[in-house]
Amino acid sequence: MFRKHLPALVLPALLAVLGLLTACGQAPDKKKSEEKAAAPKAEATAPAPAPAQAPAKKLKVAFALLWTIDDQGWTTGHYNGIKYLQEKMGDRIEVAYTEKVRAADAERVFRDYAAKGYDLIIGSTFEHMDPLLAVAKDYPNLTFEHCSGYKTGPNMGNYFVRMYQAEYLAGYMSGLMGYKNVGTVATQPIPEPIRGINAFTIGLTKGLKESGAAFDAAKVNTVVWLKAWRDAVGETAMAETLAAKGHDLIRQMADTPDSSLAACNAGKPAIGYGSDAGKAGATCALVTTLFNWGPYYVDTVQKVLDGKWAVREYWGGFDQDGVALSAFNAKVPQDVQQKVLAEKAKLAKGEDAIFAGPVLAQNGTVMIPAGSKATDAQLLSMNWLVQGVAGTVPH
């Protein structure tokens, strides 16, 4: 909100008051009046009003969203980030978004926003990568950002978050509570979910060891593959099957809460993913691992406003508020919560030792030797499962 400058009206008002006082008091001396009349009159002028301050130009920001803002998963997570951005940046920005932007229509949507003069255009899912890059090349004076991809351009960066850190914490919590036969409804057999499965299993094993529970080190987390990011029917069926086979905890990895909801209906606890499963009705969810896009959006917009934006490949975790945990379910004991939060505090300081060696693959092969830890390149290309996972990576 800008303060307006009012014209200076003080002098004309004062003259009017003096005239009124003269009329109500004694008549002025005639000689002096004549002398005044004979003297040349000086023009009484009010100071010119200060020019009104022009409102600063708002930065126009556009988002292309994969699905609807109420999908209770991936897109809801991004929409929460948009709302956070609006709350923090207020009237410095103007925001627009388009829902259900799939690959076939993405370039048209991006070109439309560019033609309308949007300063920052964001594609929020992997399939937006190539269409966004094509448009970025034709609009070199605009800024583009892409979520979850790997390509960049002179005016296009990419960003993602270290969700595996939150998944490690969820696994650690589960192990501390004694869950040792988890059933996971996984999505696509690519590095991102594989990395999350492995981190969860590493945390699960750590928690089980600390809890003193007896467990089968080769089989604490059984994985089945949906081969889709979201499939309500498939998620429900797989979760029901895992519950019927005696798995003691169901882990959701899809972009929708259906596997968590199915776990609740089967009387099993669950771990949510992406957007708070508890708020979607899965009251059995012990905790949900959350995408937290808002801080990145605020940082990026501020850089554009300040003229300091530069191409980057962002991959932030708890150290940059890129990921989060939901509130714990009341069934999670306080001592367990405190241990999980202590691990979270380490990650927030940048102390990420989740994939510190020795880390073994399912067959016992040492993938990360003692004394070292996985590099980002190794994490981003991960295509093997750690010891403790039952199941295979389909091809």
pTM: 0.85
pLDDT at 254 over 90: yes
The pLDDT value recorded for residue 21 is 35
Averaged pLDDT, 172-180: 98
Per-residue pLDDT band for 18 (boundaries 50, 70, 90) equals very low
Averaged pLDDT, 131-148: 98
Question: How far apart are alpha carbons 140 and 154 in whole angstroms?
Answer: 8
The pLDDT value recorded for residue 210 is 98
The pLDDT value recorded for residue 175 is 98
Q: Are 312 and 157 in contact (CB under 8 A)?
A: yes
Burial (Cβ within 10 Å: 0-12, 13-18, ≥19) of residue 26: exposed
Question: How far apart are alpha carbons 381 and 23 in whole angstroms?
Answer: 93
Q: Give one word for 109, left, alpha or beta, with left for phi > 0 and alpha for psi -120 to 50.
A: alpha
Half-sphere exposure (CA, 13 Å, Cβ side) for 66? 21
Q: What is the SS3 string spanning the chain?
A: CCCCCCCCCHHHHHHHHHHHHHHHCCCCCHHHHHHHHHCCCCCCCCCCCCCCCCCCCCEEEEEECCCCCCCCCHHHHHHHHHHHHHHHHHHHEEEEEECCCCHHHHHHHHHHHHHCCCCEEEECCHHHHHHHHHHHHHCCCCEEEEECCCCCECCEEEEEECHHHHHHHHHHHHHHCCCCCEEEEECCCCHHHHHHHHHHHHHHHHHHHHHCCCCCCCCCEEEEECCCCCCHHHHHHHHHHHHHCCCCEEEECCCCCHHHHHHHHCCCCEEEEECCCHHHCCCCEEEEEEECCHHHHHHHHHHHHCCCCCCCEEEECHHHCCEEECCCCCCCCHHHHHHHHHHHHHHHCCCCCCCEECEEECCCCEEECECCECCHHHHHCCCCCECCEECCCCC
Q: Which CATH superfamily is domain 163-290+323-390 in?
A: Response regulator (3.40.50.2300)
Per-residue pLDDT band for 57 (boundaries 50, 70, 90) equals confident
Task: Look at 368 and 2; give whichever has higher pLDDT.
Answer: 368
CB-based contacts of 37, cutoff 8 Å, min separation 6: none
Reported as a single tens digit per residue, the pLDDT across 320-373 is 999 999 999 999 999 999 999 999 999 999 999 999 999 999 999 999 999 999
pLDDT at 54 over 60: no
The pLDDT value recorded for residue 297 is 98
Q: What's the angle, vertex CA 157, arms to CA 156 and CA 163, rounded to 5?
A: 150
Provide the residue ranges of all domains of the chain, joining segments of one domain with +.
Answer: 59-161, 163-290+323-390
Summary mean pLDDT of the chain? 89
Q: Quick one: what percent of the chain has pLDDT higher than 70?
A: 86
The pLDDT value recorded for residue 226 is 97
Tokens of residue 391, six digits: 């199941």
| 33-47, 57-71, 183-197, 378-392: range with lowest mean pLDDT | 33-47
The pLDDT value recorded for residue 76 is 94
Question: How far apart are alpha carbons 120 and 394 in whole angstroms?
Answer: 38
The pLDDT value recorded for residue 3 is 33
Quick check: do 59-161 and 163-290+323-390 share a fold? yes
Tokens of residue 393, six digits: 């990576």
pLDDT at 317 over 90: yes
Averaged pLDDT, 255-268: 96
Topology given in CATH for the domain delimited by 59-161: Rossmann fold (3.40.50)
The pLDDT value recorded for residue 241 is 98
The pLDDT value recorded for residue 47 is 56
Per-residue pLDDT band for 391 (boundaries 50, 70, 90) equals very high
CB-based contacts of 367, cutoff 8 Å, min separation 6: 359, 360, 361, 384, 386
